[in-house]
Amino acid sequence: MQRRFFEYVDELSRTLRGKEVLLASYDGEESDFVRFNRSAIRQPGSVMQQYVTLELIDGRRHAKAATTVTGQADDDRAALKAMLVELRAQLPHVPDDPYLLYATEVHNTEQIARSTLPDSGAALDKVLAAGQGRDMVGLYAAGGIYGGFANSLGQKNWYASHSFCLEWCFYHQADKAVKARYAGLAWDDGAFARKVADATSQLEVLQRPAKTIAPGGYRVFLTPAAMVEIASMLAWSGFGLKDHRTKNTSLLKMIEGHSTLAPAITVRENVREGLGANFTGEGFVKAPVVMMIENGRYKDCLVSPRSSAEYGVPVNAGWEYPSSFEMGAGDLDEADVLARLDTGVYVNTLWYLNYSDRPAGRITGMTRFATFWVEGGRVTAPLNVMRFDETYYRILGTNLLALTRQRDFIPATDTYQARSTSSHRLPGALIDDFQFTL
């Protein structure tokens, strides 16, 4: 579709009038989805979809629309030509946009990853074998995701990525289940077997009587899967230039110089090693890496084209929310986590997070699924659900004891409209005096 998409845009560009400029984006995927329930395949399916978005610009006026394309050249050309005519008819009726910004210098890129995805049948055999004798529920998704950009100025960009994600639970009863995830670009039987073995051992602990602990401060270990929820909240208004300039950022205390995080905390937007495109829908090439927090101190913002136009700062991102969030590793080996935790709470998953005081960086949320009480470096009992209330400046600052040397690569499992290309690469975190409120 790459060649055909570029041909479509070239053909449309030849029909432009006066000073009109055309921007075009392509989004497509070929994905397999398999749902499991009670350790059996319940709903297999495949999705193939393609969309083209056109944006017509004349001066500071612009109009945008999208349509599906089929790959049938004549039908696609007719649909896109009709859409361009409709956009031209809209332009006289829209106001000037003071923050309109698009790339006027041509930067062509091609970012095509070779597929190393597992054979679907072989992967599903491994999943079914892992669920044998257990109540397993889950979703396997895999396939290629494609994107392109072209404009009437002659720029052409294209990318393709291929990934898989298996998310599953071994269910015990009521709210007691072990949630696990295995994802990446290539299947490794050994890595998957270790994930299954870890989940199986946790499932055995879940069969013991559950323990309830009193509200208060405890030493806690957050797995990388739990850290995803913390990172997602941190990303929500934490790193965008617009939020910083309007003082709406959850890291307000950092940017005003009142607080810092621990020196061990370094956070990057690492597009170079992510799953998404390295270009924006306006034709700007994203910065390969944006260092957002370095050694506990705020460094750079994510700058979208509209914020660039408003504040005069160069564009480095498509939008002001990280799509390839990466946190640096620490020096705690995973094998030593329970010994270092000693007595406290081992948290596999967090959920229902929200801000309880955004300017202060304070968040609240709940534990979920397999959360365990640990004594003397040994897991002794499952814990009933607890609510926490904490700040970034304690979790990732004064009370951070260690980050793990190993990090998990965790692609997003969102499938709204299409499979997400967002991802996290995170360590686990050992934290002291983590506050549970009820």
For 194-210, write each residue's pLDDT tens digit. Answer: 999 999 999 999 999 99
On whether residue 213 sits in a domain, the answer given is: yes
Q: What gap in Å lies between CA 293 and CA 266, rounded to an integer?
A: 5
On whether residue 310 sits in a domain, the answer given is: no
Shared domain for 156 and 28, answered yes or no, is yes
Among residues 205, 234, 255, the one where a domain terminates is 205
338-367 pLDDT, tens digit each: 999 999 999 999 999 999 999 999 999 999
pLDDT at 418: 87
361-408 pLDDT, tens digit each: 999 999 988 899 999 999 999 999 999 999 999 999 999 999 999 999
Shared domain for 179 and 253, answered yes or no, is no
Into how many domains does the chain fold?
A: 2
Shared domain for 43 and 146, answered yes or no, is yes
Q: Under a CB-based contact definition with an 8 Å cutoff, are residues 437 and 389 in contact?
A: yes
On whether residue 371 sits in a domain, the answer given is: yes
On whether residue 432 sits in a domain, the answer given is: yes
Residue 382's DSSP bridge partners are: 372
144-190 pLDDT, tens digit each: 999 999 999 999 999 999 999 999 999 998 888 999 999 888 999 99
Q: What gap in Å lies between CA 79 and CA 327, rounded to an integer?
A: 44
Shared domain for 165 and 52, answered yes or no, is yes
Neighbours of 58 (CB within 10 A): 18
Backbone angles phi, psi at 392, to 5 degrees: -60, -35
pLDDT > 90? residue 121: no
Shared domain for 100 and 213, answered yes or no, is no
On whether residue 304 sits in a domain, the answer given is: no
Among residues 205, 223, 246, the one where a domain terminates is 205
Shared domain for 391 and 344, answered yes or no, is yes
Neighbours of 38 (CB within 10 A): 11
Shared domain for 128 and 219, answered yes or no, is no
Q: H helices within 20-91, ranges in order? A: 73-90
Among residues 182, 205, 228, the one where a domain terminates is 205
Cα dihedral 315/267/275/67 (nearest 10): -40
Shared domain for 230 and 108, answered yes or no, is no
Q: What is the CATH number for 132?
A: 3.30.2290.10
Shared domain for 222 and 100, answered yes or no, is no
pLDDT at 267: 98
Residue 372's DSSP bridge partners are: 346, 382
Shared domain for 25 and 119, answered yes or no, is yes
Q: What gap in Å lies between CA 396 and CA 417, rounded to an integer?
A: 34
Give the residue carrying structure tokens 């934490």: 238
On whether residue 176 sits in a domain, the answer given is: yes
pLDDT > 90? residue 71: no
Neighbours of 229 (CB within 10 A): 20
Dihedral angle sign, alpha carbons of residues 350, 425, 168, 177: negative
Shared domain for 79 and 215, answered yes or no, is no
On whether residue 74 sits in a domain, the answer given is: yes
pLDDT > 90? residue 413: no
pLDDT at 119: 85
Full residue range of the structural domain in which residue 113 is found: 2-205
Shared domain for 256 and 232, answered yes or no, is yes
pLDDT at 118: 86
Residue 35's DSSP bridge partners are: 43, 139
